[in-house]
């Protein structure tokens, strides 16, 4: 009578071993590469993430009543080609936001480092944007909340981290 129980126990242990071996292979294949581990442990990454959160809040928030100051503040957080693109689109924002009496408040939630080098850190941010605007001809403003993910490249310029790229995902 002990023989069938012994065979069943061996069969169960063998099955468990196969499952564990399969899980080990799967985990080894999905283990982060050394460059990914470096991104997570890079001492620059935390400073760049903090700068990204602040900059994205500033860039994606504006009030039609203080739009010139809002645009000026956003430009201070930008560098490179992205700074030029933003400056080129600012006049359109001035016009549209004024016509719609738009007020946009961005709130940055979760964040994570995608990759990092000593001078560039790519950050993924989850952003909520609450918008209040009044369409022409309407006496009642409308409110809307948009949720998005943005990938931001932060580039070290001197002792500051500035946005060199911002893409909605």
Tell me: do 50 and 87 sit in the same domain.
yes
Are 111 and 149 in the same domain?
yes
pLDDT tens digit string along 6-25? 555 444 554 445 444 444 44
Same domain, 124 and 97: yes
pTM value is 0.74
Residues 26, 42 share a domain = no
* Pair 6, 68 in one domain: no
Nearest alpha-carbon partner for 44 in 124, 162, 157, 161: 161
In sequence order, what E strands does the chain have? 62-63, 103-116, 120-133, 142-157, 160-168
Q: Looking at the structure, do residues 3 and 63 belong to the same domain, yes or no?
A: no
pLDDT value for 162? 98
Residues 98 and 108: their CA atoms lie apart, in Å, by: 25
Residue 77 pLDDT exceeds 60: yes
Range of the domain at 1: 1-31
In sequence order, the β-bridge partners of residue 51 are none
pLDDT at position 4: 55
Number of domains in the chain: 2
Say whether both 109 and 132 belong to one domain: yes
Pair (108, 122) in one structural domain: yes
The 8-class DSSP code of residue 159 comes to T
């Amino acid at each position: 009578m002990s023989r069938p129980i012994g065979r069943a126990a061996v069969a169960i242990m063998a099955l468990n071993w196969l499952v564990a071996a399969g899980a080990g292979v799967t985990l080894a294949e999905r283990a982060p590469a050394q460059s990914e581990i470096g991104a997570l442990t890079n001492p620059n990454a935390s400073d760049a993430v903090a700068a990204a959160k602040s900059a994205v809040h500033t860039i994606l928030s504006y009030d039609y009543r203080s739009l010139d100051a809002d645009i000026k503040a956003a430009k201070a957080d930008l560098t490179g080609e992205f700074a030029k693109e933003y400056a080129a689109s600012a006049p359109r924002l001035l016009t549209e936001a004024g016509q719609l009496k738009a007020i946009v408040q961005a709130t940055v939630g979760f964040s994570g480092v995608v990759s990092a080098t000593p001078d560039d850190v790519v950050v993924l941010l989850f952003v909520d944007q609450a918008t209040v605007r009044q369409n022409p001809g309407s006496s009642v403003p409308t409110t809307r909340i948009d949720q998005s993910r943005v990938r931001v490249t932060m580039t070290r310029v001197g002792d500051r981290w500035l946005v060199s790229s911002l893409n909605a995902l």
